[in-house]
A and B are shown apart, each in its own frame.
Chain A
Amino acid sequence: MEGLPMLLLTLTLWGYVIGALAGLLCWQREKLANLLSFGSATLAALGGLGASVVCLVGDATSFSIRWDFLESAVPYLKFSVRLDPLSAFFLLIVSSLGLALSIYSFGYARGFYGRTKVGVLGAFYNALLLATTFVFIADNAFFFLVSWELMAMTAYFLVTFEHEQPEARHAGVLYFIMSHIGTGCIILGFLLLFQASGGYGFIGFHALGERMSAGRRDAAFLLFLAGFGVKAGIVPLHIWLPAAHPVAPSNVSALLSGVIIKSGIYGLTRVYFDFLGTPPLWWGVTLLVVGSVSALLGVLYALMDHDLKRLLAYHSIENIGIILMGLGAALMFQHANHPLLGAMALIAGLYHTINHALFKGLLFLGAGAVQHAAHTRNMEELGGLIKRMPRTAFFFLIGAVAISALPPLNGFVSEWLTYQSLLQGFGATGSLTRLIFPISGALLALTGALAAACFVKAFGITFLAQPRSVQAERAHEASPTMLAGMALLAVACVFLGLFPNQFLPLFDPLTDQLLGVQISRQLAAPGGIVLSSLGLEAGTVSTLGITLTAVCLLPIPLALWIFFGRAAARQTGMTWACGQKTLTPQMQYTATGFSKPLRIIFKALFRPHRAVQAEFEFSPYFARTIRFESHIEETFEARIYRPLQRFILRTSRRMRALQAGSLQAYLIYIFVTLLLLLILTL
Chain B
Amino acid sequence: MTPLLIPTLAQTALVLVLAPLLAGVIKNWKAKLQNRRGPPVWQPYFDLLKFLRKDMVLSEHASWLFSATPYVLFLSVLIVGLMVPMLSEQPPLKWFGGALAVIGLLALGRFFLALAGLDPASAFGGMGSSREMTISAIAEPAMMLSIFTVAITAGSTNLGQIVHTVAGQSSAFLNPSHLLAFAALFIVLLAETGRVPVDNPATHLELRMIHEAMVLEYSGRYLALIEWSASMKQLVLMTLIVNIFFPAGIAADWSAASAGRALLFFVGKLLLLSGAVVLVETTNAKLRLFRVPDLLSAAFILAALALLSTFLFK
Contacts and interface: CB of A to CB of B under 8 A. Distances in A.
Interface stretch (A30-38, A402-410, A639-647): A402-410
A633 to B, nearest CB: 20
A564 B141 contact: no
A539 B148 CA distance: 12
B100 to A, nearest CB: 6
B45 interface: no
A569 B220 CA distance: 9
Nearest to B114: A456
Interface in B87-142: 93-101, 103-105, 107-108, 110-111, 114-115, 117-127, 129-131, 133-134, 136-142
A601 B134 contact: yes
A418 to B, nearest CB: 10
A540 B221 contact: no
Contacts, number: 282
B138 A601 contact: yes
A465 B119 contact: yes
Interface string A377-418: 000000010110000000001000100111100001000100
Contacts of A542: 95-97
B277 to A, nearest CB: 23
A445 interface: yes
Interface stretch (B33-41, B57-65, B238-246): B57-65
B134 A546 contact: no
Contact of B100 (A397, A416, A456): A416
Interface in B188-247: 206, 216-217, 220-221, 224-225
B9 to A, nearest CB: 11
Given A464-B119, A465-B118, A575-B121, A568 B56 contact: yes
Interface string A415-427: 0100110010011
B274 interface: no
B97 A594 contact: no
Nearest to B140: A449
A527 B96 CA distance: 12
Given A540-B158, A542-B97, A564-B52, A449 B71 contact: no
B22 to A, nearest CB: 19
Interface stretch (A232-240, A345-353, A583-591, A672-680): A583-591
Contacts of B293: 601
Contacts of A527: 95
B118 A575 contact: no
A446 B140 contact: yes
A494 interface: no
Contact of B96 (A426, A435, A443, A545): A545
A72 interface: no
Contact of A438 (B103, B152, B158, B221): B152
B7 interface: no
A59 interface: no
A575 B96 contact: no
B71 A576 contact: no
With a 10 A CB-CB cut-off, give which of A405, A407, A574 has the most chain B CB atoms: A407
A579 to B, nearest CB: 12
B84 to A, nearest CB: 14
Interface in B241-259: none
Contacts of B103: 445
A525 B95 contact: yes
Contacts of B93: 545, 549
Contact of B108 (A407, A459, A537, A589): A407
Given A438-B148, A530-B95, A549-B82, A568 B108 contact: no
A406 B127 contact: no
B311 interface: yes
B115 A571 contact: no
A660 interface: no
A577 B216 CA distance: 11
Nearest to A540: B95
Given A537-B156, A601-B290, A407 B101 contact: yes
B161 A572 contact: no
A533 B157 contact: yes
B79 A546 contact: yes
Given A549-B96, A554-B75, A594-B130, A568 B53 contact: yes
Contacts of A666: none
A281 B126 CA distance: 47
A419 B103 CA distance: 12
B53 to A, nearest CB: 5
B74 interface: yes
A460 B145 contact: no
Nearest to A525: B95
Contacts of B151: 423, 539
Interface string A102-127: 00000000000000000000000000
* Main secondary structure on B side of the interface with A: helix
Nearest to B133: A453
The size bracket of the interface on A is: 35 or more
Interface in B43-81: 49, 52-61, 63-65, 70-71, 74-76, 78-79
B122 A460 contact: no
A449 B155 contact: no
B285 interface: no
A550 interface: yes
Contacts of A284: none
Contacts of B290: 597, 600-601
Interface in A548-594: 549-550, 553-554, 556-557, 560-561, 564-565, 567-578, 583, 585, 587-589, 593-594
Contacts of A567: 53
Contact of A560 (B52, B76, B111, B134): B52
A560 B59 contact: no
B55 A568 contact: yes
A145 interface: no
A598 interface: yes
Given A442-B145, A540-B98, A549-B96, A450 B59 contact: no
A573 B59 contact: yes
B298 interface: no
Given A450-B137, A533-B157, A537-B156, A565 B97 contact: no
Contact of B61 (A536, A561, A575): A575
Interface in A214-229: none
Contacts of A407: 97, 101, 104-105, 108
B158 A445 contact: no
The winner among A412, A537, A597 for most chain B CB atoms within 10 A is A597
Interface in B293-314: 293, 300, 303-304, 307-308, 311
Given A405-B104, A449-B133, A540-B98, 5 more contacts: A444-B144, A456-B133, A545-B96, A557-B71, A597-B134
Interface of B: 12, 16, 49, 52-61, 63-65, 70-71, 74-76, 78-79, 82, 93-101, 103-105, 107-108, 110-111, 114-115, 117-127, 129-131, 133-134, 136-145, 148-149, 151-152, 155-158, 161, 206, 216-217, 220-221, 224-225, 289-290, 293, 300, 303-304, 307-308, 311
Interface of A: 384, 386-387, 397, 401, 404-407, 412, 416, 419-420, 423, 426-427, 432, 435, 438-439, 441-446, 448-450, 452-453, 455-457, 459-461, 464-466, 525, 527, 530, 533, 536-542, 545-546, 549-550, 553-554, 556-557, 560-561, 564-565, 567-578, 583, 585, 587-589, 593-598, 600-601
In the A-B complex, the 10 residue pairs with the smallest Cβ-Cβ separation, listed nearest first, are A589-B126, A445-B144, A539-B157, A460-B118, A453-B133, A449-B140, A465-B121, A545-B96, A449-B137, A564-B52
